[in-house]
């Protein structure tokens, strides 16, 4: 006979729930560490594999593309096949692809396995939170999710710092260990799930909408390829033959995106419920999300390139740029969420977006002025950016949740998650072209100078190195300025579309993140 604590609406006995939580934390750490440390390691990967700027963009974007296009279908897989089974399958695919990335002999192979890694993450990422929610009864769920969120924030904060220290201590070739470390973490998670956690029954026979997922992958892949091809061979917006493919590819992406929308409208169980975008507050919150995460992703990808390859800072030092973002979101999301519940999400989102805009404008000013001071210049701007994001993250979830009916909150949250990732995908592709174009224009055809974000070779003449540094600063300043303007647009969109009303108490009590 089950004890009262076990006689609940959960598949997992109380004595086994801690194993679910540990497995979910470890699996989440795989994705968080992999993404943030890779930005620090990109200059080392470029040196070790001889990767161009466009190839470096695709090492990031191949993963982002499959993850963002398939994450909604990945979430549905857990409902259809059972969360434990789908979660384990996602982890297995992720760590197998990680090992292949660790031994990749060239950029093309690394890009291919990064795409496969993203497919695994598309199943694994939504499964980590969903299996906690299904394993814990409602009265214990909030605490469990809070522990998961805190642990995730800790791994996100410490991952780049430790990764930077390792890269600095052991040299460029150690970047492969970033992927290899996924094996022990993943195996422990799989063991706990299979040996300690009972199987859960599928909740519903949901369609996976593989047709929609395929169209989304092709559409965003074509758009990203077109935007990236403009920066191929470091020629940027004034590129030659390689860049000629950008126009047709972007046009093809637009056509495929229209085809995706038409396809989804005709599906009985679509991957994305497009009717939700008829709700002004929901559409506005997602537009603000796209602008904000576009800006965030662009800076977090290209700033380490500038600092390591341009300024010559160590990876150990640069690893600290992610620390304020993770720490402030972890510390402030709870209080800010409660504040948002009292006054409504409009003001926190708009004000936070303005703070982020100020931080990116500050980075642009530092780069443009050639002020190469990390701890007194860049780090304070990153702390300011972290404060702004901490003001936005929780209220943005509230805005999405309160804009739709209760029955649609899960779908709305999934769409918003996908939008933020698509924003990052397009940012890395588009801003690379801008950076490479400005870099080439400032150099004005200077010969013998490496491309943007490529470390200077030993023995480079001092005058050429000085020209490279000026061009690198100008290139990043352009990226930071554009992203600051996008954050300003995010604030305007949020202020004009998101509700300024407080969260009703009966819905606020159901939001475990607050």
- Please choose, from the candidates 34, 295, 285, the residue with its C-alpha nearest in 3D space to the C-alpha of residue 159: 34
Q: Please, are residues 53 and 454 in contact by the beta-carbon 8 Å criterion?
A: yes
pLDDT in tens, 22-42: 999 999 888 777 777 888 999
Does the pLDDT of residue 464 top 70, yes or no? yes
d(C-alpha 337, C-alpha 316), whole Å: 33
pLDDT at 238: 34
Does the pLDDT of residue 445 top 60, yes or no? yes
Angle, nearest 10°, between helix axes 379-403 and 409-443?
150
Burial class (CB in 10 A: 0-12, 13-18, 19+), 350: buried
Q: Residue 207: how many CB atoms within 10 A of its CB?
A: 15
Report, as an integer, the average pLDDT of 405-411. 80
d(C-alpha 183, C-alpha 162), whole Å: 17
pLDDT in tens, 250-275: 999 999 999 999 999 988 888 888 99
pLDDT at 501: 63
Q: Please, are residues 418 and 71 in contact by the beta-carbon 8 Å criterion?
A: yes
Does the pLDDT of residue 201 top 90, yes or no? no
What does the angle CA 231 – CA 235 – CA 239 come to, to the nearest 5 degrees? 85
pLDDT at 163: 87
Q: How confident is the model at residue 246 (pLDDT cuts 50, 70, 90)?
A: confident
Burial class (CB in 10 A: 0-12, 13-18, 19+), 16: middle
Does the pLDDT of residue 225 top 50, yes or no? yes
Does the pLDDT of residue 239 top 50, yes or no? no
Does the pLDDT of residue 505 top 70, yes or no? no
pLDDT in tens, 50-92: 999 999 999 999 999 999 999 988 888 888 888 899 999 999 9
Does the pLDDT of residue 430 top 70, yes or no? yes
Greater model confidence, 438 or 326: 438
Q: Residue 141: how many CB atoms within 10 A of its CB?
A: 17
- Helices vs. strands in the chain: H and E counts, helices first: 17, 0
Q: How confident is the model at residue 512 (pLDDT cuts 50, 70, 90)?
A: very low
Q: How confident is the model at residue 506 (pLDDT cuts 50, 70, 90)?
A: very low
d(C-alpha 424, C-alpha 411), whole Å: 20
Q: How confident is the model at residue 94 (pLDDT cuts 50, 70, 90)?
A: very high
State what percent of residues in the chain have pLDDT above 70: 92
pLDDT at 486: 98
pLDDT at 444: 84
The helix (run of H) or strand (run of E) holding residue 330 is helix 323-343
What does the angle CA 418 – CA 285 – CA 302 come to, to the nearest 5 degrees? 55
199 phi-psi bin (left φ>0, alpha ψ -120 to 50, beta other):
beta
**Paired tokens of 300:** 């977090």
d(C-alpha 396, C-alpha 419), whole Å: 13
Q: At which residue do the structure tokens 């305007």 appear?
A: 492
Q: Residue 80: how many CB atoms within 10 A of its CB?
A: 16
Angle, nearest 10°, between helix axes 346-369 and 323-343?
150
498 phi-psi bin (left φ>0, alpha ψ -120 to 50, beta other):
beta
d(C-alpha 14, C-alpha 357), whole Å: 46
- Please choose, from the candidates 428, 472, 398, the residue with its C-alpha nearest in 3D space to the C-alpha of residue 295: 428
The helix (run of H) or strand (run of E) holding residue 160 is helix 138-170
pLDDT at 11: 87
pLDDT at 9: 66
Report, as an integer, the average pLDDT of 355-376. 97
Report, as an integer, the average pLDDT of 305-324. 93
d(C-alpha 81, C-alpha 129), whole Å: 16
Q: How confident is the model at residue 4 (pLDDT cuts 50, 70, 90)?
A: very low
Does the pLDDT of residue 241 top 50, yes or no? no
d(C-alpha 269, C-alpha 22), whole Å: 33
The helix (run of H) or strand (run of E) holding residue 488 is helix 462-497
- Please choose, from the candidates 36, 50, 150, the residue with its C-alpha nearest in 3D space to the C-alpha of residue 450: 50
- Please choose, from the candidates 203, 409, 384, 391, the residue with its C-alpha nearest in 3D space to the C-alpha of residue 299: 384
Does the pLDDT of residue 3 top 50, yes or no? no
pLDDT at 406: 76
Does the pLDDT of residue 2 top 50, yes or no? no
d(C-alpha 475, C-alpha 115), whole Å: 28
Q: How confident is the model at residue 8 (pLDDT cuts 50, 70, 90)?
A: low
pLDDT at 32: 75
pLDDT at 502: 60
Q: How confident is the model at residue 6 (pLDDT cuts 50, 70, 90)?
A: very low
The helix (run of H) or strand (run of E) holding residue 327 is helix 323-343
Report the range out of 206-210, 328-332, 435-439 with the highest average pLDDT: 435-439
């Amino acid at each position: 006979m089950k004890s009262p604590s076990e006689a609940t609406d959960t598949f997992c006995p109380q004595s086994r729930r801690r194993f679910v939580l540990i497995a979910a934390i470890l699996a989440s750490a795989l994705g968080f560490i992999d993404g943030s440390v890779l930005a620090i390691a990109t200059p080392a990967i470029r040196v070790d594999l001889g990767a161009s700027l466009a190839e470096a963009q695709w090492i990031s974007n191949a993963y982002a593309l499959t993850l963002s296009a398939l994450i909604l279908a990945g979430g549905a897989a857990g409902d259809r096949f059972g969360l434990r089974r789908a979660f384990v399958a996602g982890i297995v695919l992720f760590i197998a692809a990680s090992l292949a990335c660790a031994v990749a002999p060239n950029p093309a192979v690394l890009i291919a396995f990064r795409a496969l890694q993203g497919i695994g993450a598309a199943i694994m990422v939504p499964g980590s939170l969903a299996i906690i929610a299904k394993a814990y009864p409602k009265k214990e769920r909030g605490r469990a999710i809070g522990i998961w969120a805190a642990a995730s924030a800790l791994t996100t904060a410490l991952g780049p710092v430790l990764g930077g220290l390792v890269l600095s201590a052991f040299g460029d070739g150690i970047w492969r260990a970033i992927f290899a470390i996924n094996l022990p973490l993943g195996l422990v998670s799989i063991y706990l799930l299979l040996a300690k956690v009972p199987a859960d029954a599928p909740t519903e026979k949901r369609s996976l909408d593989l047709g929609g997922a395929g169209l989304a992958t092709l559409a965003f892949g074509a758009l990203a390829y077109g935007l990236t091809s403009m920066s191929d061979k470091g020629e940027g917006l004034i590129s030659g033959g390689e860049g000629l493919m950008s126009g047709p590819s972007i046009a093809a992406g637009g056509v495929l995106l229209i085809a995706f929308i038409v396809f989804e409208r005709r599906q009985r169980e679509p991957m994305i419920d497009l009717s939700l975008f008829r709700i002004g507050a929901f559409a506005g919150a997602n537009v603000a999300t796209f602008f904000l995460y576009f800006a965030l992703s662009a800076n977090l990808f290209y700033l380490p390139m500038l600092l390591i390859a341009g300024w010559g800072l160590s990876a150990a030092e640069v690893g600290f740029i992610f620390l304020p973002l993770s720490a402030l979101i972890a510390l402030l999301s709870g209080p800010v969420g409660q504040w948002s519940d009292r006054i409504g999400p409009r003001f926190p989102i708009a004000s936070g977006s303005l703070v982020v805009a100020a931080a990116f404008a500050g980075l642009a000013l530092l780069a443009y002025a050639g002020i190469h001071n990390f701890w007194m210049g860049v780090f304070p701007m990153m702390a300011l950016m972290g404060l702004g994001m901490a003001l936005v993250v929780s209220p943005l979830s509230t805005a999405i949740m309160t804009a739709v009916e209760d029955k649609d909150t899960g779908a709305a949250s999934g769409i918003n998650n996908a939008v933020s990732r698509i924003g990052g995908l397009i940012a890395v592709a588009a801003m690379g072209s801008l950076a490479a174009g400005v870099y080439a224009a400032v150099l004005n055809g200077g010969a013998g100078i490496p491309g943007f974000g490529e470390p200077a070779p030993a023995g480079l003449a001092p005058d050429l190195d000085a020209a490279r540094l000026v061009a690198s600063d100008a290139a990043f300043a352009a990226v930071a300025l554009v992203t600051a303007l996008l954050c300003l647009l995010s604030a305007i969109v949020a202020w004009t579309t998101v509700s300024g009303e407080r969260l009703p108490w009966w819905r606020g009590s159901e939001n475990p993140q607050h």
